[in-house]
């Protein structure tokens, strides 16, 4: 498993706002937002349900990671997915930093990955 999820009621916009607020309460900012639905419509003419990828970053932890492994930027930021399901519910998915950082093969990064995962789980639990 490379992520963990929570399903919520509400609109995608309302859930996205709640996610951004919960991330901020744990010290994360959103560096990027990719509206996959709009991009696929514009580039391919495909209609799909709302699907938004947020690039979340906790600056102090990102700095620690970069200090420990300069190439870690290839794995940053932490992606958070907000998507509408067919039944109208909204799923929020969080990348599992432990799974993501395991590709480095560096055991010394495991405590860092665990800390980030704990923060993201607290974000999930706030929703």
Question: Which of 20, 10, 34 is CA-nearest to residue 85?
Answer: 10
Would you state the pLDDT for residue 81? 98
Segment 44-82, tens digit of pLDDT: 999 999 999 999 999 999 999 999 999 999 999 999 999
For the chain, give the mean pLDDT.
Answer: 96
Segment 87-104, tens digit of pLDDT: 999 999 999 999 999 999
Q: 3-class DSSP state for residue 124?
A: helix
Question: Which of 56, 52, 40, 54 is CA-nearest to residue 90?
Answer: 52
Q: Quick one: residue 15, left, alpha or beta (phi over 0 = left, psi -120 to 50 = alpha)? A: alpha
Confidence of residue 1 (pLDDT cuts 50, 70, 90): confident
Q: Which domains does the chain have, with CATH numbers?
A: 3-126 (3.30.310.70)
What's this model's pTM, rounded to 2 decimal places?
A: 0.95
Pairing of strands 29-35, 3-8: unpaired
Segment 7-48, tens digit of pLDDT: 999 999 999 999 999 999 999 999 999 999 999 999 999 999
Burial of 109 (0-12, 13-18, 19+ CB in 10 A): buried
């Amino acid at each position: 498993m490379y992520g963990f999820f929570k399903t919520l009621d509400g609109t995608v916009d309302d859930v996205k706002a709640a996610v951004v607020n919960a991330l901020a309460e744990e010290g994360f900012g959103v560096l990027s937002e990719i509206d996959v639905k709009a991009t696929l419509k514009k580039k391919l003419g495909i209609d799909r349900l709302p699907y938004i990828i947020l690039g979340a970053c906790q600056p102090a932890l990102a700095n620690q990671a970069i200090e420990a492994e300069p190439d870690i930027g290839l794995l940053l930021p932490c992606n958070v997915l907000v998507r509408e399901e067919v039944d109208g519910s909204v799923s929020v998915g969080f990348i599992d930093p432990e799974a993501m950082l395991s590709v480095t093969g560096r055991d010394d990064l495991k405590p860092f990955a665990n800390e980030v995962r704990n923060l993201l789980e607290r974000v999930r639990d706030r929703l």
